[in-house]
Amino acid sequence: MSSSHSDIEKVVSAIIEKVKPRREDYERLRQVYDTVSQLLTECLGPLNREFVISLQGSVAKDTFIRGEVDIDVFVLFNPQQVDETWFGSEFVNIVTECFKRRNYEVRLEYATHPYVTAVVDGVEVNVVPAFRVENPKKIISAVDRTPFHTEYVVKKLSPEQRDHVRVLKLFLKAWNIYGAEVAVQGFSGYVTELLVIAYGSFDRVLKAATKWRPYRTCIDIEGHYPDERRCIERFRDSVLVVVDPIDPDRNAAAAVSIKSFALFKLLSYLFTIKPSLEFFDKPRTIVPSTWSRDIHDRLRAIGSCLIHLVFKVRKPIPDAVWGQLRRVERVLLNELKSLRLSVLAIDSWVDKSLSRAIVAIEIADCDKEFEVHKGPIALDLDNALRFLIKNANALAGPWLGYDGRLYCIRKRKYSAYEAVERIAKKLASLSVLELERVESDIPTIANHDFVEWLYGFVFRKQFERIARIMEST
């Protein structure tokens, strides 16, 4: 079950061939940066404030994937001269106007504070205001750390390793665990870079990952902590700890969820056993014309059903929307469980324009009016008594099962749909989402992207290609 080193090398070389930028890519990016830099100098000059224009992000670090790039241009100010509110009240307006005057497409975006995105020569350029500080201990806003990150990564990564970062990024992207945003809860670009710095190469990162243990692994490149135990204690709630080399109090991998962690670990294991180019393909769900019938047949096969919460998005801030959607999922899971309804799958979809969101739930045994209800063990006398009294009118039982527990068959309090509707009504304080309706079956939404997503949600063939590759192991 072990692959030879040359198998891995072959795959990695092929992927490098695909992700490594060409000379013309660099030239084009350089031109875009020069254009933006010049424009900003012109527009910001008259303000009479010190600033330094600086290239940041994956272009500065040369770890971007060919064809998948935006440029981060930081404008670093003297914190003595401006403050963060000034970024929002003045800077973004000046920059927006500046780009608009030259007929560039431009929009306002929000991270820790607002910034401007312009499209220049087909390339997205993020113009981010930040403070210029002496060292990482003195940062004012979170983005002020970025120049130090860039400096560190540039210093540490060899040219070969930069290609390995690109390979790792593509691997993560293919499985939708690239990025620290709430929608993904995966591995940021910076974490990807740190992993290659820590382990040396793409394949060594994957080999190491197969040994990671959730809440028990600390990657501390600069040795800021005396030992792993002390490091883990400091970041108790983190699934994975990658100590930020320029700020030992920060876990660069704090966004990684247990699900992303488990998926990456499993994929790493599968890849090291059977390296294959297919690990790097983003699966496209091909929705057959019979999709609606397929979904119904699939649900009927085990007697489950689909229920959807359809929301209008009030504020198109991705992290806020996804944060609330995940919260809705958690609440639904817990409340449905306490009503003894078994959730087979739950996930959320948001349309591209960020105007509508849907939480989809698949519930098992929806068609049943009655349920087998498992009670306490008979030896737990108080609870056994309560169970007997409460279920005196059950359809069958209460009876003492061969496992020593009490059971009965009783009417369900709520149907699956009723239960979801009740829980949905209780979900009041959703600031960025507004519940429009609860729909069962396939919701009446004319959106091909949603249908594609729903088809994937119902069939959940996430590992199909990989399983087929592994079969020949």
Helices 146-156 + 189-199 axis angle, to 10: 30
Residue 277 contacts its own copies per CB under 8 A: no
The rounded Cα 160 to chain-centroid distance in angstroms is 27
Q: Which is nearer to its own copies, 108 or 385 (CB)?
A: 385
**Contact window for its own copies (CB under 8 A) among 55-63, 218-226, 339-347, 350-358:** 339-347
Residue 140 contacts its own copies per CB under 8 A: no
Tell me the residue type at 303: G
175: which DSSP letter? T
Please check if 380 is assigned to a binding site: no
Q: Which is nearer to its own copies, 102 or 216 (CB)?
A: 216
**Contact window for its own copies (CB under 8 A) among 5-13, 255-263, 351-359, 444-452:** 255-263
Tell me the residue type at 354: L
For its own copies (CB under 8 A), the number of binding residues is 63
Residue 338 contacts its own copies per CB under 8 A: no
Query: In this structure, what token pair is assigned to residue 252?
Result: 């660069």
- Separation in Å, CA 95 to CA 27, 36, 90, 129: 24, 10, 9, 10
87-116 CB burial, b ≥16 within 10 A, e <16: beeebbeebbebbeeeebebeeeeeebbbb
Strand partners, 118: 106, 125
Please check if 281 is assigned to a binding site: no
Residue 101 contacts its own copies per CB under 8 A: no
Q: How far is the CB of 368 from its own copies (least distance, A)?
A: 6
Residue 273 contacts its own copies per CB under 8 A: yes
Please check if 296 is assigned to a binding site: no
Residue 208 contacts its own copies per CB under 8 A: no
Q: Torsions phi, psi of 363, nearest 5?
A: -115, 135
Residue 215 contacts its own copies per CB under 8 A: no
Q: In sequence order, what are the residues at sequence separation of 6 or more whose Cβ sits closer than 8 angstroms to the Cβ of residue 142?
A: 112
Site string for its own copies, 366-405 (x = CB under 8 A): -xxxxxx----xxx-x--xx--xx-xx--xxxxxxxx-x-
Residue 164 contacts its own copies per CB under 8 A: no
Q: Which of 324, 331, 329 is nearest to 354 (CA)?
A: 324
What DSSP string runs through 281-320?
SPPPP---TTHHHHHHHHHHHHT-EEEEEEEEESS--HHH
Number of Cβ atoms within 10 Å of the Cβ of 300: 11
Q: How far is the CB of 367 from its own copies (least distance, A)?
A: 8
Site string for its own copies, 291-320 (x = CB under 8 A): -------x--xxx-----------------
Residue 446 contacts its own copies per CB under 8 A: no
- CA–CA gap between residue 197 and residue 361 (Å, rounded): 41
Strand partners, 359: 309, 348
H/E element, 147: helix 146-156
Residue 287 contacts its own copies per CB under 8 A: no
Please check if 169 is assigned to a binding site: yes
Q: Which is nearer to its own copies, 148 or 459 (CB)?
A: 459
3-state secondary structure of 438: strand
**Contact window for its own copies (CB under 8 A) among 144-152, 193-201, 228-236, 463-471:** 463-471
Q: How far is the CB of 125 from its own copies (least distance, A)?
A: 36
Residue whose pair of structure tokens reads 């068609």 in the numeric block: 367
Please check if 7 is assigned to a binding site: no
Q: How far is the CB of 329 from its own copies (least distance, A)?
A: 8
Please check if 70 is assigned to a binding site: yes
Q: How far is the CB of 11 from its own copies (least distance, A)?
A: 18
Residue 428 contacts its own copies per CB under 8 A: no
Query: In this structure, what token pair is assigned to residue 185?
Result: 């809860």
Residue 331 contacts its own copies per CB under 8 A: no
Q: In sequence order, what are the residues at sequence separation of 6 or more whose Cβ sits closer than 8 angstroms to the Cβ of residue 383?
A: 375, 376
Q: How far is the CB of 355 from its own copies (least distance, A)?
A: 26
Residue 290 contacts its own copies per CB under 8 A: no
Residue 413 contacts its own copies per CB under 8 A: no
Q: Which of 156, 168, 159 is nearest to 222 (CA)?
A: 156
Q: Which is nearer to its own copies, 312 or 386 (CB)?
A: 386
Please check if 247 is assigned to a binding site: no
Q: Which of 171, 415, 371, 185 is nearest to 276 (CA)?
A: 171
112: which DSSP letter? S
**Contact window for its own copies (CB under 8 A) among 4-12, 91-99, 125-133, 258-266:** 258-266
The rounded Cα 202 to chain-centroid distance in angstroms is 21
Length of the chain, in residues? 473
Q: In sequence order, what are the residues at sequence separation of 6 or more whose Cβ sits closer than 8 angstroms to the Cβ of residue 103?
A: none
Give the footprint of its own copies on this chain (CB under 8 A): 210, 213-214, 258-259, 262-263, 265-266, 269-270, 273, 298, 301-303, 329, 333, 344-346, 364-365, 367-372, 377-379, 381, 384-385, 388-389, 391-392, 395-402, 404, 407, 409, 458-464, 466-468, 470-471, 473
- Residues making up the annotated binding site for ATP are 58, 61, 149, 169, 178
